[in-house]
């Protein structure tokens, strides 16, 4: 098994980090581009494996869409294949075939799509046989499982002959991602309405346009965490916008409590150390991908905090609740469920001389635990897992002066 040794380092000189582009924006823009009658000019698309997989599948159009481990790609391409009346087999890695897709399939079937499961009900692999006739323009879909199901339905809605009225049932999680989808659709000429829990999109055509993808706020969060946990330093994260479509820009507000001051410039956002104010509680309902980063940061900084809104973490690349609990324990910290879906971060009291982190085939586990190197040596298992969203992550670590050593 390949591992990467990260030598302890707690002080950082000023450095610029050329952040990768947003995977979330890129994947949505690619689907919209594929649905647009005309030629768009997309720029700054993400280098992430998920996005490159989407690009390859849309370009080569094989009979089998093997999305590897890309959940967003699986969900978006399933809806895309249905609305464009293509016959496709949708599959992926073993873990991908354990991640539920039943809510999306039920929604597509309810408007007339023909889709069949090839193995277990509710999970990939599945066969899409198109959408010959739209049978209804009104559907209900749960809002508390995955916003990607909702985004997938919204992006195909303009192409449906009857349009679509989508009613969100129950608590809505990751609402900022739904808002991102709708705002991107609007930038490609689509009009919509959202009143209470109902989103309505009439039948209409996407309009060709130019679109440049923003830098990735999820990727930015690890550098916020590194600076928060360090003794000193200053970082400029390039390409971020203050008024972002990405919900993970909430990291600015979170890290204000954990010792990082953010100043927006024409080039991006400048991060500077400041006193830790203390983070007592945070609801991650609309930014679940930040939970691992913030949990590790709190554990390192000695911050006892309450987390809610973690429901979707169990169906990500791994069960992220379980993974966090196992790895935090390695440096004497805890993520404890104190009541149903309410978790307490109990910080570390003593730090081992080195910690080996298992990454669970989850890119965010590797990157979230990187800042632990500010307190001890870290041995990271399967470091290449970061290629899913941030292939240049370890190169950017070296930019900051962190010493990395590959070990077999």
Domains and CATH numbers, the chain: 3-20+215-407 (3.65.10.10), 23-212 (3.65.10.10)
Average pLDDT (155-174) is 94
Which of the four pLDDT bands, split at 50, 70 and 90, describes residue 349? confident
CB-based contact 372:347 (threshold 8 Å): no
Q: Cβ neighbours of residue 119 under 8 Å, at least 6 residues apart?
A: 97, 125
Which of the four pLDDT bands, split at 50, 70 and 90, describes residue 317? confident
Nearest to 231 by CA among 330, 304, 300, 333: 300
Whether the predicted pLDDT of 315 surpasses 80:
no
Please indicate whether residue 345 or residue 173 has the higher confidence score (pLDDT). 345
Structure token pair of residue 303: 């911050």
In 196-321, where do the E strands start and end? 198-201, 210-212, 234-238, 260-264, 268-273, 281-283, 305-308
Catalytic residue among 216, 289, 362, 377: 289
Per-residue pLDDT of 321-344, as tens digits, reads 999 999 999 999 999 999 999 999
- Numbers of helices and strands, H then E, in the chain: 12, 22
Per the annotation, the verdict on 408 as an active-site residue is no
pLDDT for the residue numbered 1: 80
Q: What is the pTM of this model?
A: 0.86
Which of the four pLDDT bands, split at 50, 70 and 90, describes residue 173? confident
pLDDT for the residue numbered 408: 72
Which of the four pLDDT bands, split at 50, 70 and 90, describes residue 37? confident
Which of the four pLDDT bands, split at 50, 70 and 90, describes residue 397? very high
Whether the predicted pLDDT of 93 surpasses 80:
yes
State yes or no: cis peptide before 125, omega within 30 of 0.
yes
Q: Which residue has the tokens 């069960």?
A: 319
Per-residue pLDDT of 99-141, as tens digits, reads 999 999 999 999 999 999 999 999 999 999 999 999 999 999 9
Give me the percent of the chain exceeding a pLDDT of 70.
Answer: 100
Whether the predicted pLDDT of 318 surpasses 90:
no
């Amino acid at each position: 098994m390949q591992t990467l040794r990260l030598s302890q380092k707690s002080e950082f000189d000023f450095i610029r980090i050329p952040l990768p582009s947003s995977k979330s924006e890129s994947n949505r823009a690619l689907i919209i581009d594929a649905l647009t009658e005309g030629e768009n000019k997309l720029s700054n698309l993400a280098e992430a494996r998920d996005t490159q997989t989407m690009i390859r599948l849309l370009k080569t159009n094989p009979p089998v869409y093997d999305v590897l481990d890309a959940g967003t790609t699986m969900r978006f391409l399933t809806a895309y294949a249905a609305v464009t009346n293509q016959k496709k087999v949708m599959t992926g890695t073993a873990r991908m075939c354990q991640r539920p897709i039943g809510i999306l399939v039920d929604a597509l079937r309810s408007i007339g799509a023909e889709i069949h499961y090839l193995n277990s009900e509710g999970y990939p692999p599945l066969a899409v046989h198109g959408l010959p006739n739209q049978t209804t323009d009104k559907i209900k879909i749960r809002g508390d499982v995955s916003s990607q199901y909702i985004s997938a339905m919204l992006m195909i809605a303009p192409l449906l002959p009857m349009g679509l009225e989508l009613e969100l049932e129950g608590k809505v999680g990751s609402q900022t991602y739904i808002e991102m989808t709708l705002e991107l659709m609007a930038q490609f000429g689509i009009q919509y309405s959202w009143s209470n829990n109902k989103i309505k999109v009439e039948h209409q055509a996407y309009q060709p346009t130019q679109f440049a993808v923003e830098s990735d706020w999820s990727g930015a969060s690890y550098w916020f965490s590194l600076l928060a946990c360090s003794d000193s330093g200053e970082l400029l994260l390039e390409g971020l916008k203050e008024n972002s479509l990405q919900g993970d820009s909430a990291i600015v507000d979170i890290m204000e409590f954990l010792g990082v001051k953010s100043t927006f410039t024409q080039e991006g956002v400048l991060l500077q150390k400041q006193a830790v104010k203390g983070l007592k509680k945070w609801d991650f309902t609309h930014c679940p991908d930040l939970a691992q980063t913030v949990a590790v940061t709190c554990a390192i900084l000695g911050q006892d905090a309450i987390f809610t809104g973690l429901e979707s973490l169990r169906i990500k690349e791994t069960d992220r609740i379980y993974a966090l609990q196992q790895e935090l324990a390695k440096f004497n910290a805890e993520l404890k469920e104190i009541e149903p879906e309410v978790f307490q971060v109990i910080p570390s009291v003593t730090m081992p001389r080195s910690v080996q982190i298992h990454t669970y085939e989850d890119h965010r586990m590797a990157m979230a635990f990187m800042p632990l190197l500010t307190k001890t040596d870290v041995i990271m298992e399967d470091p290449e897992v970061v290629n899913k969203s941030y292939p240049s992550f370890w190169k950017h670590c070296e930019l900051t002066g962190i010493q990395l050593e590959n070990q077999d």
